[in-house]
């Protein structure tokens, strides 16, 4: 079973992604910030991480950099809002595999998962 970690400070984003991904047969973990995400990643080793860019405690870009430094094969997809293009470009050059614009479309999420699990 594919294991997915959703990292977002917005509870409703985590719940929405969990709801439709679990129905599709994925195991879903979630974290409210980057620090929680790093701890969960160490314990659970998820296959894919969907990570928001703007979060308290530890932002998504820092989380991405720490994950890819310690886990070269980490598959991180950045969750972005309009207006975060400069940070998004830095994230892609720092190892993010893809990005997803919020509010996200479920079909796009599934398309990204399938492409990363090939």
Tokens of 35: 């620090």
pLDDT, mean of residues 95-113: 94
The residues pairing with 93 across neighbouring beta strands, listed in sequence order, are none
Write out the DSSP string of 20-57.
HHHHTT-EEEEESSHHHHHHHHHHH--SEEEEESS-SS
- Contacts made by residues 89-92, CB under 8 angstroms, sequence distance 24+: 90/61, 91/53, 91/60, 91/61, 91/64
Name the CATH code of domain 3-116 (choices 3.40.50.10800, 3.90.800.10, 3.40.50.2300, 3.50.50.60).
3.40.50.2300
Reported pTM? 0.95
CB atoms within 10 A of CB 104: 16
d(CA 113, CA 28): 13
Residue pLDDT, tens place only, 37-81: 999 999 999 999 999 999 999 999 999 999 999 999 999 999 988
Q: How confident is the model at residue 84 (pLDDT cuts 50, 70, 90)?
A: low
Instruction: Provide the residue ranges of all domains of the chain, joining segments of one domain with +.
Output: 3-116
């Amino acid at each position: 079973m594919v294991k997915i970690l959703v990292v977002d400070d917005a509870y409703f984003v985590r719940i929405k992604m969990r709801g439709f991904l679990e129905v599709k047969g994925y195991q879903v973990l979630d974290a409210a910030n980057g620090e929680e995400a790093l701890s969960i990643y160490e314990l659970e080793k998820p296959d894919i991480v969907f990570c928001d860019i703007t979060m308290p405690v530890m932002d998504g870009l820092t989380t991405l950099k720490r994950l890819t430094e310690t886990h070269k094969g980490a598959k991180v997809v950045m969750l972005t809002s309009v207006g975060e293009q400069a940070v998004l470009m830095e994230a892609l050059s720092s190892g993010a595999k893809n990005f997803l614009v919020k509010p996200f479309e479920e079909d796009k999420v599934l398309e990204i998962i399938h492409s990363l699990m090939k």
